[in-house]
A = this chain, B = another copy of it.
Amino acid sequence: MSESVPVHFDLRIRLFREEKYFGPGIAELMERVERTGSISAACREMGMAYSKAWKILRRAEHDLGFPLLEAVSGGASGGSSRVTERGKEMLTRYRAMEAAVKAYAEEQFERYFGEDIP
């Protein structure tokens, strides 16, 4: 790579009890389910296989010990999905912590890498 391309950073936070499952991917999936009412629509938007979405969601729910999504039954459309109340709380806190830490990381990155690598 040319050194004319500046160095960037990526920061990723995961929350977990014993296994690192709740991270940026699940957070985005949950936000899209909340907006679309549908796991499959959320997967399509993200280009994620439905089977993968189920797998990471179930692992995160198992690790945390509470459900993140729930089925909404009934209605002419047959049923959809939504984020549970605890899932919403988890997501809100995750995004708030992430935003605060990323803002601070921007400052630290500028401090340590503002002039690129000598």
Chain A positions within 8 Å of B, measured between CB atoms, are 1-3, 5-20, 62-66, 86, 89-90, 93-94, 96-97, 100-101, 104-105, 108-109, 111-113, 117-118
- Contact yes or no, A86 B117, CB < 8 A: yes
Complex alpha-carbon distance, A1 and B20, angstroms: 12
Copies in the complex: 2
- Contact yes or no, A16 B7, CB < 8 A: yes
Return the contact of A15 from the options B7, B18, B89 (Cβ within 8 A): B7
Which residues of chain B come closer than 8 Å to A7, judged between CB atoms?
Answer: 15-17, 64
- Contact yes or no, A8 B17, CB < 8 A: yes
Given contacts A86-B117, A89-B117, 4 further A-B contacts (CB under 8 A): A2-B17, A9-B15, A10-B15, A12-B12
Return the contact of A20 from the options B10, B65, B94, B113 (Cβ within 8 A): B10
Q: Can you list 29 contacts pairing A with B, beta carbon distance less than 8 Å? A: A1-B17, A1-B62, A1-B63, A1-B64, A2-B17, A2-B65, A3-B64, A3-B66, A7-B15, A7-B16, A7-B17, A8-B15, A8-B16, A9-B13, A9-B16, A10-B15, A11-B13, A11-B14, A12-B13, A12-B14, A15-B113, A90-B117, A93-B113, A93-B117, A97-B105, A97-B113, A100-B104, A100-B108, A101-B105
